[in-house]
Amino acid sequence: MLTYSPEKFASLYASDLGQRIWAFLTRPESVARLETASELGKPAVEGIEEQLLAEFREDVLADRVKQMVGHMVRQILEQRDWVLDQSDVKVQSVPFSKATRYRRPDWITFHAFRNSSDPRDVAITDRRQNAPLPADVRWTYYATFASPLKAAVAFGVRDIRQLRQQVHAHGYHRVRIERMLRTA
């Protein structure tokens, strides 16, 4: 059972709106959406924004209400073993303009760079700035990822622990991303 400690939002939480928002956020499907957005490396509230607007309409547009939603989401995810990854992430949506991104505690953020003359040649490292990449080619920044799912699907990395060891030992791990065939 998820619990909420309203702290500075005590009076808003005690209101009918506050109670309804907490009930909405703790529904299994809402929690699943928060976690799915987080798994994808997105701010958690991106997973519920449409449903939140559908259910609460303009009541959720007030800054204080949005702040309470963020406060509630943080407590929900922390109780489910997520940790804060980055706050004040810009979000291009309504009702949120900034939100917080969460990650699993054992995730490590990796950065991928593409070979500028062969985009299928990718070097993965744990640093974006001053990354110790192979000197034989020119590299351009490509992507950031932390989830094992993204590592497996996008880069063919099945073992994050092994990737971490490779990066630690050599400064990077080089992979070749083969083209996916499309069927008509």
Ordered DSSP codes for 135-171: TTS-EEEEEEE--HHHHHHHH----HHHHHHHHHHHS
d(CA 48, CA 140): 34
Neighbouring CB atoms inside 10 A of 143's CB total 15
pLDDT band at 115 (very low <50, low <70, confident <90, very high): very high
d(CA 45, CA 168): 33
pLDDT more than 70, % of the chain: 97
Segment 77-98, tens digit of pLDDT: 999 999 999 999 999 889 999 9
Closest Cα partner for 126 from 177, 173, 175? 173
3-state secondary structure of 28: helix
Are the C-beta atoms of 41 and 147 separated by less than 8 Å? yes
The predicted structure's pLDDT at residue 146:
86
3-state secondary structure of 60: helix
Segment 32-73, tens digit of pLDDT: 999 999 988 899 999 999 999 999 999 999 999 999 999 999
